[in-house]
Amino acid sequence: ETVTRRILQVGPLKPSLAATIADRYDALVLPDDDTRSAFLAEHGPSIGAVVTTGRTGVPGELMAQLPALGAVINFGVGYDTTDVETAAERGVLVSHTPDVLTDCVADTALGLAIDTLRHLSAADRFVRRGDWSDAAGYPLARKVSGKRVGILGLGRIGRAIATRFEAFGCPISYHSRREVPGSPYTYAATPAELAADVDILVLATSGGSGTQHLVDRTVLEALGPDGYLINIARGSVVDQDALVELLLEGGIAGAGLDVYADEPEVPEELMTLDTVVLLPHLASGTVETRAAMEQLTLDNLDRWLADGTVLTPVPEVSPRGAARSR
Ligand code: 8YV
């Protein structure tokens, strides 16, 4: 069996990863301009593997132009931009970078929750504006320790978030597609039931069509005027228009967001609200974790070139079919 060994970079990569791929492999970069179709007509048939991220991925129309594709090597744990159903049908392997980023993403979720309830970023802006005086202290915020926390999606990241909140004395409940056997946390049958019973709802599901708008207006209304939403998953999991409306009218108390429906677009209405904390999709963004993600990406690529398998396949294309994280 002949493996087509040429590599295609799709979308921007961490600069050191892009440099390694360009230096060490027979690699091309997919152009992002009007030369793209001519490029694909010429080179598409020679591509054996794609290296990409969750920002771009390999959607169905691109996959169709890569007839010899054997593997999609994804930098990042989320791969909702890649057409995994078609990949599975065609026998194209898809790998991702689970585990190595779990700690940092969970740390970010806790940081967002603390910031959102305690208004740390807003208070920092207050100081920088020169608003702190003998007469005017910062308005009181909300306590985090002991708050009831609901985790939507009790996968690797959801569990890491739960153990961190446990240390804050927070009772934990969760909703996943299936109840997790042996979990010490309370299971809620639906996202709305989960939201109704918690103060802080943390989204840690995978993205994609299976979780599109899983958190709709009904779920947000169940969370209610004293409830907070934290999202480190994907913007697609939330009905963002409903979220913005409820934040503007006080239908929920606040939100800490690392992800959005149409990144890097952030709804203009949120920019002036001190009840929200807005991060630019940085949850895994540390030197240590991004280096580990880069190494695992290269290890997956090398394994595929060596024997046609990958180290960390996504569950949809994995022979083991491990449970997905929702
Ligand atoms: C990355 C992420 O920033 O792993 C993921 O799913 O969203 C982040 O870790 C992203 O994949 C890189 O583009």
Q: How far apart are CA 313 and CA 189, in angstroms?
A: 29
Per-residue pLDDT tens over the stretch 47-100: 999 999 999 999 999 999 999 999 999 999 999 999 999 999 999 999 999 999
Determine the 3-state secondary structure of 80 from DSSP: coil
The pLDDT of residue 169: 98
Residue 256 forms beta bridges with which residues?
Answer: 230, 277
Among 14, 51, 53, the mutation site with the greatest number of ligand 1 atoms within 8 A of its Cβ is 53
**162 to 159, 171, 173, 253: CA distances (angstroms):** 5, 9, 9, 21
Q: How far apart are CA 326 and CA 319, in angstroms?
A: 19
Cα dihedral 117, 171, 325, 235 in deg (nearest 10): -20
Asked whether this complex has an ipTM greater than 0.90, the answer is: yes
pTM, entire model: 0.95
Among 77, 84, 95, 157, the mutation site with the greatest number of ligand 1 atoms within 8 A of its Cβ is 77
Q: Decide if 96 is catalytic.
A: no
Computed over every residue of the chain, the mean pLDDT equals 96
Residue 220 forms beta bridges with which residues?
Answer: none
For residue 325, pLDDT beyond 70: no
Residue 187 forms beta bridges with which residues?
Answer: 174
pLDDT range class, residue 2, cuts 50, 70, 90: low
For residue 153, pLDDT beyond 70: yes
Name residues contacting ligand 1 (CB within 6 A). 53-55, 75-78, 101, 281, 284
Q: Decide if 281 is catalytic.
A: yes
The pLDDT of residue 323: 42
Q: Is the peptide bond before 319 cis (omega within 30 degrees of 0)?
A: no
Question: What's the mean pLDDT in 225-230?
Answer: 98
Q: Decide if 234 is catalytic.
A: yes
Domains present along the chain, CATH in parentheses: 6-99+288-317 (3.40.50.720), 102-278 (3.40.50.720)
Q: Six-digit token pair at 56?
A: 């771009």
The pLDDT of residue 251: 98
Per-residue pLDDT tens over the stretch 249-265: 999 999 999 999 999 99
